[in-house]
Amino acid sequence: MARITRSVDFSLKGYLLQAYLIGRNASGTDSPIKGELIKFNKGLGSHGNRSKSGMVAAIMADSAKLTLDGNEYELPIVVGSENEKAIDIGKLRAESGYVTIDGGYKNTGACYSSITYLDGEQGILRYRGYAIEDLAEKAEFLEVAYLIIYGTLPTPTEYDTFKKDIRRHSIIHEDMRHFFDGFPSSGHPMSILSSMVCSLSAYYPDSLDADPTDDLQITRLLSKIRTIVAFGYKKSIGHPAMYPRNDLSYCGNFMHMMFANPAEPYEPDPEIVKAINTLLILHADHEQNCSTSTVRLVGSSNANLYAAVSAGILALWGPLHGGANQAVIEMLQEIQDSGGDYKGFMEKVKDKSSGVRLMGFGHRVYKNYDPRAKVLKAMADKLLPHLKVEDPLLDIAKNLEAIALEDPYFVQRNLYPNVDFYSGIVYRALGIPVNMFTVMFALGRLPGWIGQWREMMQDPGRKIGRPRQIYTGENARAFVSLADR
């Protein structure tokens, strides 16, 4: 049995902010400023974080005092560029023998990151400082991928080169195409995707170096993942694989591989291509969520990028994470099939003994409307009439949302629609099968996984991820031989 007998006195002193802006000189370009970098590393010990693109801003503040067993420990306070505060406990165990415990990591900052800023109370999401709403409306997915991975929006020349590299790698090794014959056609596309992404490391042994500056592995993965997804889909419906058409855009080429067939000409509908582009941008990163943390943890052992991303895909699959988009449609369908009684369904959700949750609602971080859900709801309203799709599930979803936004059960718990609530309705209208919704999420999240892996691998203070535990099992006891048990 665990015994906690010590009393803990914890107090924070007033913050005394000292800002060290790292890696940006006065003109705003990227070259690191050596003196400041040293100060930064001094201030943050081994946790200092700088990316190649030099976008890191970190603030060292005053310290907190922790009293344990009559001893006082001084713990540095760090403040992020948006004023998020943390207590650095990096030396706590070495100095006091104590660890911290935080199930579900609700209070644990696992890293410094300059990629995504998210304010769940205000419903704000930004990649590298750019508002998600602006990026969703104005950018191309590959521009956003470049931004997330390399830290800045690409110049026209950088963007041309990046796109050219990605185009060049669109075909997968022909042997890999035969892998699809080995999977049952009913196999879940997330298991196939994860296996195929991991298999890339068998075909590209140079990836085993796990070198974050090796851009070839990055462009390969960004390019081939579309082909893998589309080939898997074609196999599942008994159609021949459609090879990529590199004259098309990233999203257009994906639509071609998914929906063209060799017997007919096919030109992707620009509205659909635009919608896919926006969907992928909305999913591109979301800081230290379950799948991204998985990518970082696996990558922290120096496993290669394909292995780390493959693990991230599996983490995303769960219905409490990316799998929720499939679960939302299944829930809406069930409501419709049982006569459309959405009010009765909401009563079940509120009855804890039923074990029913309103899928697509609630979020560990958002305690306000998920900004991505807002964009998707507006997109559904515009896109469905364009595609001449009338989806009764959209009406059910809106009715559920209207109840939830008024009902004290949801209001008191700050439960709002998350990204998955409307994305499934849009995917359905685009002709994406339900069991591929989470695959679409993975396609979008890929730049985030790559960018976070790259950032971690370039952190000079990086350590293998290895949490502690509080042991609650038996104390030492003598072995009892089999005959005596």
Among candidates 55, 73, 53, which has minimal Cα distance to 63?
73
- Half-sphere exposure for 250 (CA within 13 Å, toward CB): 30
Min dist CB 453 to ligand ACO, Å, is: 19
**Does 324 sit near ligand ACO (CB under 6 A)?**
yes
**Does 256 sit near ligand ACO (CB under 6 A)?**
no
* Tokens of residue 118, six digits: 């998210």
Nearer to ligand ACO, 151 or 360 (CB): 360
Instruction: List Cα–Cα distances, 301 to 126, 292, 393, in angstroms.
Output: 29, 15, 44
Min dist CB 324 to ligand ACO, Å, is: 3
- With CB under 6 A as the contact rule, which of the stretches 13-21, 182-190, 393-401, 417-425 interacts with ligand ACO? 417-425
Min dist CB 329 to ligand ACO, Å, is: 12
Nearer to ligand ACO, 231 or 410 (CB): 410
Min dist CB 357 to ligand ACO, Å, is: 4
Query: How many angstroms separate the CA atoms of 232 and 435, rounded?
Result: 12
Residues 146, 180, 204, 361: which binds ligand ACO (CB under 6 A)?
A: 361
Residues 212, 362, 424, 448: which binds ligand ACO (CB under 6 A)?
A: 362
Residues 85, 91, 245, 357: which binds ligand ACO (CB under 6 A)?
A: 357
Query: How many angstroms separate the CA atoms of 143 and 122, rounded?
Result: 26
Contact 21, 79 (CB under 8 A): no
Query: How many angstroms separate the CA atoms of 445 and 437, rounded?
Result: 13
Query: How many angstroms separate the CA atoms of 460 and 243, rounded?
Result: 41
Min dist CB 426 to ligand ACO, Å, is: 15
Q: What does the DSSP 8-state code read for residue 284?
A: S
- With CB under 6 A as the contact rule, which of the stretches 110-118, 216-224, 412-420, 461-469 interacts with ligand ACO? 412-420
Contact 115, 251 (CB under 8 A): no
**Does 415 sit near ligand ACO (CB under 6 A)?**
yes
* Tokens of residue 266, six digits: 């096919």
Min dist CB 95 to ligand ACO, Å, is: 32
Residues 54, 252, 322, 448: which binds ligand ACO (CB under 6 A)?
A: 322
Secondary structure class of 117 (helix, strand, coil): strand
Radius of gyration of the chain (CA): 24
Residues 85, 364, 367, 398: which binds ligand ACO (CB under 6 A)?
A: 364
Query: How many angstroms separate the CA atoms of 87 and 90, rounded?
Result: 9
- The residue assigned the tokens 């997968």 is 172
Binding mask 419-448 for ligand ACO (x = CB under 6 A): xx----------------------------
Active site includes 420? yes
Secondary structure class of 482 (helix, strand, coil): helix
- With CB under 6 A as the contact rule, which of the stretches 55-63, 123-131, 418-426, 460-468 interacts with ligand ACO? 418-426
Min dist CB 310 to ligand ACO, Å, is: 19
Residues 101, 202, 320, 402: which binds ligand ACO (CB under 6 A)?
A: 320
Q: Give the active site residue among 363, 370, 391, 459.
A: 363
79 contact partners, CB below 8 Å, separation of at least 6? 15, 17, 59, 60, 61, 85, 86
Q: Give the active site residue among 88, 391, 420, 459.
A: 420
Residues 76, 252, 360, 448: which binds ligand ACO (CB under 6 A)?
A: 360
Query: How many angstroms separate the CA atoms of 427 and 433, rounded?
Result: 8
- With CB under 6 A as the contact rule, which of the stretches 121-129, 321-329, 374-382, 450-458 interacts with ligand ACO? 321-329
Residues 413, 431, 463, 467: which binds ligand ACO (CB under 6 A)?
A: 413
* Tokens of residue 322, six digits: 């990316």
Min dist CB 375 to ligand ACO, Å, is: 14
Residue nearest to ligand ACO (CB): 362
Active site includes 386? no
How does DSSP assign 354-396, residue by residue?
Answer: G----TTB--SS-SS--HHHHHHHHHHHHHHHHTT---HHHHH
* Tokens of residue 474, six digits: 């038996």
Total residues contacting ligand ACO (rule CB under 6 A)? 18
H/E element, 332 = helix 324-337
* Tokens of residue 54, six digits: 């030099």
Active site residues: 363, 420
Chain residues binding ligand ACO by CB under 6 A are 320-322, 324, 349, 357-364, 413, 415, 418-420
